Chains A and B, each alone.
Chain A
Amino acid sequence: MINSLAMEWQKLRPLHKTARTVLLAIALAIVVSALVSVAMASNGPNMSLLDRQAFDSVATSLQGVNAAVLAIAAFGVLCVTREYGTGMIKVTFLAQPSRLRVLAAKLTTHAAIAGVAAAGACLAAFAVGQALLGTAGLSVGWGNASLPAALGGGVVYLMLICTWGVALGAALRSSSTAIIWLASLLVVAPVIVQILPQHLIDLVGRWLPSQIGQQAISSHPSVHSFSPWTGLAVLSAYTGLTLLAGAWRITRTDP
């Protein structure tokens, strides 16, 4: 297993297209958090006292997590699909004939990198977001009681999404197919759900990964959603099932 981890780590060391998606994810997280915070801050003078009490300052400055999600997922997908696309996977299996170990090593390295990147992105986004919200007196600062849970939730959410990407890449093998699926589930599905009647939105919406992610960074969870950790457990189940399919395909179908 150590060999496989060393192999996957060495593959990532030169910063290639695949690894660059991580940097993109971090940049998107910070920029979007800043933009959302600026918008909120500019709206600050119009807010009533009630609005200010209901305002989730932590979640607002972590909104970038939702923007980073597709890039993080792509980072996971590409580590498998690019190898199938270029035929490099055969050389990988020559070096490590146990395909499940290869898959496990990819999951471990990529989830770890996604975790570090997500932690950095969340901390930076929170710092930037709070500074901007502070201009309208909407900041809560580092001492806020719900901050650790929201930060942890955001990081775990992005790690799970990356793992899901790796699993989906192993199950589908094609970069375009896997990314279209992810984009549909993460970006398109929420839009489609929004046009449903309200009672259906309340029923279906909670199962969407995007809503699970939104809950994970919230300090005021919505009643029509899973609680943050239940939601992350649901997302783990999605990931686990996809992983079973990926493991089955990687061992059963030859490259």
Chain B
Amino acid sequence: MIEVRGLTKRYGDRAVVDDLSFRVEPGAVTGFLGPNGSGKTTTARMILGLTDPDAGVATVGARRYRDLAHPLREIGALIDPGGVNPSRTAIEHLRWLAAANRLPRRRADEVLSLVGLDGVAGRKVGGFSLGMRQRLGIAAALIGDPPTLVFDEPINGLDPEGIRWIREFMQDLAAEGRTVFVSSHLMSEMALTATELIVIGQGRLIAAESVAAFTERAESSVRVRSPQLNVLAAALADQGASLWRDGDVLEVVGVSIEHVGVVALKLGVLLYELSPQRASLEEAFMRLTADICDYVAGQAA
């Protein structure tokens, strides 16, 4: 289990991670979602003890990373596809890792065959494709058979076959009861891989809920087309609905479609269209983070 409480990191004046709190539970793949530059990698690095937070605490199984005597047995991490001396062979890279946490030497061979790299154990990593390096990184993460795993953007630069392999691999790990925390900036990918979501924007928590609940929210938007949109929009906004307007089309989130119909009738507003929208998760994600992302909000205004 991973727990983050009040985590904050500033670089100069800018808070890259701002009072962030969440929990990642075992037995599920939890997606860690946010646009590029939203603080995902910095958060992951603070969980892994590679960066010190300015405030707050991140714990793995109730202990801070730096207090773990054999960290690789508690948590495995894939943080970037590099991280390997290219003149070392795959098996050599895993052997020194095993030695570092007093793990039996055979673990290196075991995890290598687990990720399907046993055929290239003696080859230098410098000659590996990106997909093979990702697999080696995952093998390294698994070397201590840890109950918790953190993967930072594991599908970046992978081909479709590699993406599918990693997706299924992470789901299998979660099915074994492990905590699997995977960051991504692609909502569509997380919809396929994860069952739980933690969404951040500009270092702040936007949502922490199941993918199902998130999808529910995404589908509850209502599309309205009317020649008298101004009147209707003002009334709906007063009632706390979120609105996006594009010409004579209004998109409404936060109130039911029936409610929009009742309000329109009361105001005597003529409607050309009133329809439920099944926004894609990607759109829901964009909408959620757009509130937070000042550069996008600037365009919308």
Which of B77, B88, B99 interacts with A7 by CB under 8 Å? B99
Interface contact A17-B96, CB-CB below 8 Å: no
Interface contact A94-B82, CB-CB below 8 Å: no
Interface contact A87-B83, CB-CB below 8 Å: yes
What DSSP secondary structure best describes chain A's contact surface? helix
CB 8 Å contact bits of A12-30 with B (1 = contact, 0 = none):
0110110000000000000
Q: How far, in angstroms, from A90 to B203 measured CA to CA in the complex?
A: 23
Q: Taking the complex as formed, is B233 at the interface, i.e. its CB lies under 8 A from any CB of chain A?
A: no
Interface contact A90-B100, CB-CB below 8 Å: no
Interface contact A88-B84, CB-CB below 8 Å: yes
Q: Given A86-B83, A96-B100, decide whether A91 and B71 contact each other with a Cβ distance below 8 A.
A: no
Report chain B residues within 8 Å CB of A95.
Answer: 71-72, 97, 100-101
Q: How far, in Å, is B45 (CB) from chain A's closest CB?
A: 7
Q: Taking the complex as formed, is A255 at the interface, i.e. its CB lies under 8 A from any CB of chain B?
A: yes
Interface contact B97-A87, CB-CB below 8 Å: no
Interface contact A97-B68, CB-CB below 8 Å: yes
Interface contact A90-B79, CB-CB below 8 Å: yes
Can you name the residue of chain B whose Cβ is closest to the Cβ of A14?
A: B92
Count CB-based A-B contacts (< 8 Å): 80
Q: Taking the complex as formed, is B185 at the interface, i.e. its CB lies under 8 A from any CB of chain A?
A: no
Q: Taking the complex as formed, is A47 at the interface, i.e. its CB lies under 8 A from any CB of chain B?
A: no
Interface contact B87-A10, CB-CB below 8 Å: no
Interface contact B101-A255, CB-CB below 8 Å: no
Q: Given A14-B92, A88-B85, A90-B80, decide whether A97 and B49 contact each other with a Cβ distance below 8 A.
A: yes
Interface contact A90-B85, CB-CB below 8 Å: no
Q: How far, in angstroms, from A98 to B71 measured CA to CA in the complex?
A: 11
Interface contact B95-A10, CB-CB below 8 Å: yes
Which of A14, A83, A93, A97 interacts with B89 by CB under 8 Å? A14
Interface centre among A10, A17, A90, A91 (most CB of B within 10 A): A91
Q: Taking the complex as formed, is B261 at the interface, i.e. its CB lies under 8 A from any CB of chain A?
A: no
Report chain A residues within 8 Å CB of B51.
Answer: 254
Q: How far, in Å, is A48 (CB) from chain B's closest CB?
A: 54
Size of chain B's interface in residues, with CB distance under 8 A? 33
Q: How far, in angstroms, from A9 to B77 measured CA to CA in the complex?
A: 23
CB 8 Å contact bits of A67-111 with B (1 = contact, 0 = none):
000000000000000110011101111111110000000000000
Q: How far, in angstroms, from A97 to B100 measured CA to CA in the complex?
A: 11
Q: Taking the complex as formed, is B66 at the interface, i.e. its CB lies under 8 A from any CB of chain A?
A: yes
Interface centre among B52, B80, B83, B88 (most CB of A within 10 A): B83
Q: How large is the interface on A (under 10, 10 to 19, 20 to 34, 35 or more residues)?
A: 20 to 34
Interface contact A91-B84, CB-CB below 8 Å: yes
Which of B45, B92, B100 interacts with A254 by CB under 8 Å? B45
Q: How far, in Å, is B137 (CB) from chain A's closest CB?
A: 9
Q: Taking the complex as formed, is A39 at the interface, i.e. its CB lies under 8 A from any CB of chain B?
A: no
Q: Taking the complex as formed, is A3 at the interface, i.e. its CB lies under 8 A from any CB of chain B?
A: yes
Q: How far, in Å, is A34 (CB) from chain B's closest CB?
A: 31
Report chain A residues within 8 Å CB of B99.
Answer: 3, 6-7, 9-10
Q: Given A90-B50, A95-B97, decide whether A16 and B88 contact each other with a Cβ distance below 8 A.
A: yes
Interface centre among A13, A14, A94, A98 (most CB of B within 10 A): A94
Interface contact B101-A91, CB-CB below 8 Å: no
Can you name the residue of chain A whose Cβ is closest to the Cβ of B92?
A: A14
Q: Taking the complex as formed, is B65 at the interface, i.e. its CB lies under 8 A from any CB of chain A?
A: yes
Q: How far, in Å, is B285 (CB) from chain A's closest CB?
A: 29
CB 8 Å contact bits of B258-275 with A (1 = contact, 0 = none):
000000000000000000
Q: Taking the complex as formed, is A220 at the interface, i.e. its CB lies under 8 A from any CB of chain B?
A: no
Q: Taking the complex as formed, is B140 at the interface, i.e. its CB lies under 8 A from any CB of chain A?
A: yes
Report chain A residues within 8 Å CB of B100.
Answer: 3-4, 6-7, 10, 92, 95-96
Q: Taking the complex as formed, is B86 at the interface, i.e. its CB lies under 8 A from any CB of chain A?
A: yes
In chain A between 46 and 65, which residues have their CB closer than 8 angstroms to a CB of chain B?
A: none
Can you name the residue of chain A whose Cβ is closest to the Cβ of B105?
A: A10
Can you name the residue of chain A whose Cβ is closest to the Cβ of B77?
A: A94
Report chain B residues within 8 Å CB of A90.
Answer: 50, 79-80, 83
Q: How far, in angstroms, from A203 to B85 measured CA to CA in the complex?
A: 45
Q: How far, in angstroms, from A94 to B72 measured CA to CA in the complex?
A: 7
Report chain B residues within 8 Å CB of A92.
Answer: 100
Report chain B residues within 8 Å CB of A96.
Answer: 71, 100
Q: How far, in Å, is B157 (CB) from chain A's closest CB?
A: 15
Report chain B residues within 8 Å CB of A10.
Answer: 95-96, 98-100
Report chain B residues within 8 Å CB of A88.
Answer: 82-85
What residues make up the interface of B, taking CB atoms closer than 8 Å to A? 45, 48-52, 65-66, 68, 70-72, 77, 79-80, 82-89, 92, 95-102, 140
A-B pairs with beta carbons under 8 Å apart, 17 shown: A3-B99, A3-B100, A3-B102, A6-B102, A10-B99, A16-B85, A17-B87, A82-B85, A86-B85, A92-B100, A95-B71, A95-B100, A96-B71, A96-B100, A97-B66, A97-B71, A255-B50
